[in-house]
Amino acid sequence: MPITDSYNRKIEYLRISLTDRCNMRCTYCMPPEGVNLIPHYEVLHYGEIREIVRAGAWLGIRSVRLTGGEPTVRRDLPRLVGMLKEVDGIEEVTMTTNALLLSKLAKELKGAGLDRVNISLDSLRPDRFFEITRGGDLRAVLEGVDAALEAGLSPVKLNAVIIPEFNDDEVEDMARLTFDRPLHVRYIEFMPIGDLRLHKEKKFIKAAELIERLKKVFELETVEKGAGMGPAKTFKIKGAIGTIGFISSMSDHFCGSCNRLRLSSDGWLRSCLFNEKLGVDMKTPIREGASLEELKELFMKAAGIKPEGHELDRRAELDFERTMSQIGG
């Protein structure tokens, strides 16, 4: 029987943070000194993740997305992909990555069953990319994009967090990436997460403003929502191969249609990315021998406490202490 929350939203999508570790230090994701890492013994094992996914699949979970930190730093990742694709009911396994290691892994991940990837790409300028990621190599990321396309991971989405007075002058250049290759560029509104010293000085640019800005440069055609397109408002530049999309997490949030739960790397099943108080401990029960039926009950409990919306406009009241890398964005 499909699982629904208190607002009658059908829960079909599980995001799984595999680790709080990352090989970059993006300014909007974590402080420059890094974070206190979760001890390895507190992180869910692959077998434990599979059993939790099995319980979710019994209740209607159909799509699984692997996140981090950075999921590709987790050892033997293709093995987990294969384990999850073998779970009855799971139709899709996807991943969000910074792509630094993707050029070496894309083919093997595709062979294990990975369906598609979202790649974080906030600048096309090497010096600016280095600054925002605090040391990231843009060339390695672009090689990862090429490898994903060559491996047949489809669609390949490029996620760009648009930061005012930092990378907002690259919006048009990013759109041009869709001209010749089947890339799907998605502009994401800047959210109050991560290093608050930076956020106190920045505002976000509304997705609607970006759409109007791009309409002055390109002829945009609306694209019908389809499988795998997520919450983005999607357009296509006339004549382009790929698409551009806009995720309005702040100005016009999509909470009313949110169909997801989130599993943290230390085993908490959370019903909202932005409220850590709303979670159910899965790790302790599974390590104490919980049955599949007991795990299913925990899934239903997590769905039952899912809030109506994220309430980011009153973020200071939410006791939100961990960074995006720790909660799995």
Identify whether 6 is part of a domain: no
Identify whether 159 is part of a domain: yes
Residue 142, pLDDT score:
98
Sign of CA dihedral 123, 69, 99, 65: negative
Higher-scoring residue by pLDDT: 327, 54? 54
> Residue 317 — pLDDT band, cuts 50, 70, 90?
very low
Identify whether 282 is part of a domain: yes
197 CB-near residues (< 8 Å, 6+ apart): none
* pLDDT (tens digit per residue) in 176-229: 999 999 999 999 988 765 554 444 455 789 999 999 999 999 999 999 766 555
Q: How far is CA 130 from the centre of its chain?
A: 21
Identify whether 243 is part of a domain: yes
If one counts the domains in the chain, the total is 1
Residue 201, pLDDT score:
53
Identify whether 4 is part of a domain: no
* pLDDT (tens digit per residue) in 114-173: 999 999 999 999 999 999 999 999 999 999 999 999 999 999 999 999 988 889 999 999
Identify whether 25 is part of a domain: yes
What CATH code is carried by the domain that includes residue 242?
Answer: 3.20.20.70
- Domain around 218: 13-327
